[in-house]
Amino acid sequence: MAIETVITREMLAHFLELQHKKKEVETEIEELKRAFNEYFDLSVGKNAKGEMVLREYKLQRQIRNSVKFKQQQTVKKLEELNLLDLIEKKPDEEKIRSAIQLGLLHEEDLEGCKTVNTSQAIYVKYLSSK
């Protein structure tokens, strides 16, 4: 199989130039995101979703939470509750949620076993005038 693509010095130079521009753009985007998050922190509170419209632009902050069970504490608690079928080598989060829904396990039984991670997402949309 023959290589048909020709790599030129200009291509390499252009690639490096684009990589540099990409870093500059990413840095600037992060600065804007920081400013947007600071605005929402002050106007609606930390880790709260928010929205504003400025002429034809809409700025939104969405908040996502992900809950994970702490492995050691959860396994220990499930062993104490004799719910060994809910344990693999790590807590089976799907089975735990099912057991909670079925009433075999209560949320408070796993107190101290979960961690909650929160992330912020910024969206900017162009709203075309109608």
How confident is the model over 1-32, as pLDDT tens digits?
Answer: 667 889 888 988 898 899 889 999 999 999 99
CA end-to-end span of the chain: 54
pTM for the predicted model, two decimal places: 0.56
As a whole number of angstroms, the distance between CA 25 and CA 30 comes to: 9
**Is 113 in contact with 100 (CB distance < 8 Å)?**
no
Look at the chain and report how many structural domains it folds into: 2
As a whole number of angstroms, the distance between CA 124 and CA 36 comes to: 10
Q: Are residues 61 and 119 in the same domain?
A: yes
Q: Which domain holds residue 100?
A: 71-112
Q: Is residue 1 part of a domain?
A: no
φ, ψ at 70 (rounded to 5°): -70, 125
For the segment 46-72, what is each residue's pLDDT rounded down to a tens digit? Answer: 999 999 999 999 999 999 998 899 988
Q: Are residues 48 and 108 in the same domain?
A: no
Q: Are residues 107 and 127 in the same domain?
A: no
- CA torsion 85-91-97-100 (nearest 10°) is 60
pLDDT over 90, % of the chain? 55
Q: Is residue 86 part of a domain?
A: yes
Q: Are residues 45 and 79 in the same domain?
A: no
> What pLDDT, on the 0 to 100 scale, is given for residue 130?
59
Say whether pLDDT at 91 is over 90. no
Mean pLDDT over all residues of the chain? 90
> What pLDDT, on the 0 to 100 scale, is given for residue 77?
92
**Helix (H), strand (E) at residue 101:** helix 93-102
Q: Is residue 47 part of a domain?
A: yes
